[in-house]
Each structure stands twice: as C-alpha cells, then as structure tokens.
Amino acid sequence: MSINPYAYNITIRRDTFEGEVLFEARVKELPDLTEYGESYEEAYNLAVDTIETTAEIFAEKGRRFPDAMVPIDEFSGRVTLRLPRSLHRVLAENSDTEGVSLNQHLVNVLSYCSGFAAGNQTKGLPAWRSVSSAQDTSKTKANQHLRLVRNDNLKTANSDWG
C-alpha cells in the first residue's frame, strides 16, 4: 500500500506553546497527530514524516490507514430532506412569523447552528455543548425556534407512545 502524505490536509498555525513560540501542524484526517517545529517548513515536514511512518506501522499491523480527504467541488447546494409532519408544520409557521420562505428559514437555522458549533470548537468546547443558563436570556430567534421545534417533536413523540 502506497500513500501520498502530501494529499492529506495539513494545517499549520503559529502560537505560543508552554512559553515557546512554535509552529503547530495538525492533520485533519488524523486528529491525534500534532507536530511542532521552530519554522513553518519544519512543522510541515514533521507532519508529512509522521503520516508516512504511521501509515507504515498500520500496514505492518494489517490495519487500514485513513484515506486523504479529497475536496469535492460538486456540491449543488440542493438537499432533499424528509421531515416529520409536525416538524414541517412548526418550521413553516416560524418562517411565516419571520416573513421569509421556509427554505430561507432552514438556511438561517442551519447557519446559526453550524456557526454556534464552530464557535464552541474554537473555544475548546464540544460542538454539542448547550448554552449556559446565563446566556439563555439572550438567545437568538433561531435558537428559540429550535427549542420550539424540539418541544413540539417531543410532544408528538410522547403522544405516539402513549
């Protein structure tokens, strides 16, 4: 098995680590892999070397090594989605309240949630972490809509079971 270590998604950032300014290299496909160097090139080369070495170790042990993620430029922006009727109703009502199409409302809600998750990851928090109760009072309408949707689905699910 031959891999191309240069095909992997390597990101380099410069920061202070334990009081020393270094370049940190991370590999998207191998989240546990982190290398540090005094220069950008050194960190990058260490990451490439570690990818090669790790792939060899995996091959020796008969384990499958993760493939490099190849960027795909063929996203159409179109998604077909099946929803429970109750969720469809709540989302449609919320979009009417906001004065936007259902499609635009779904884009707004998904964008908000995606940004919220990304913001939490940047802060070192898990993407699924909920907003603290102190922040609860300042939630946006998108988050309020999500809460309504979840509550409505919960009621529907409970009525289906009992």
Question: The domain containing residue 127 runs over which residues?
Answer: 85-161
SS3 9: coil
- Asked whether residue 72 is domain-assigned, the answer is no
Sheet holding 10-17, edge to edge: 10-17, 20-27, 30-37
pLDDT in tens, 76-89: 888 888 999 999 99
Average the pLDDT over 3-30 and give the result. Answer: 94
Average the pLDDT over 66-94 and give the result. Answer: 87
Average the pLDDT over 31-49 and give the result. Answer: 96
pTM above 0.85, yes or no: no
- Asked whether residue 79 is domain-assigned, the answer is no
Does 135 lie in the same domain as 92?
Answer: yes
How many domains is the chain built from?
2
Does 153 lie in the same domain as 94?
Answer: yes
Does 145 lie in the same domain as 91?
Answer: yes
Q: Is it the case that residue 102 has pLDDT exceeding 80?
A: yes
Does 152 lie in the same domain as 92?
Answer: yes
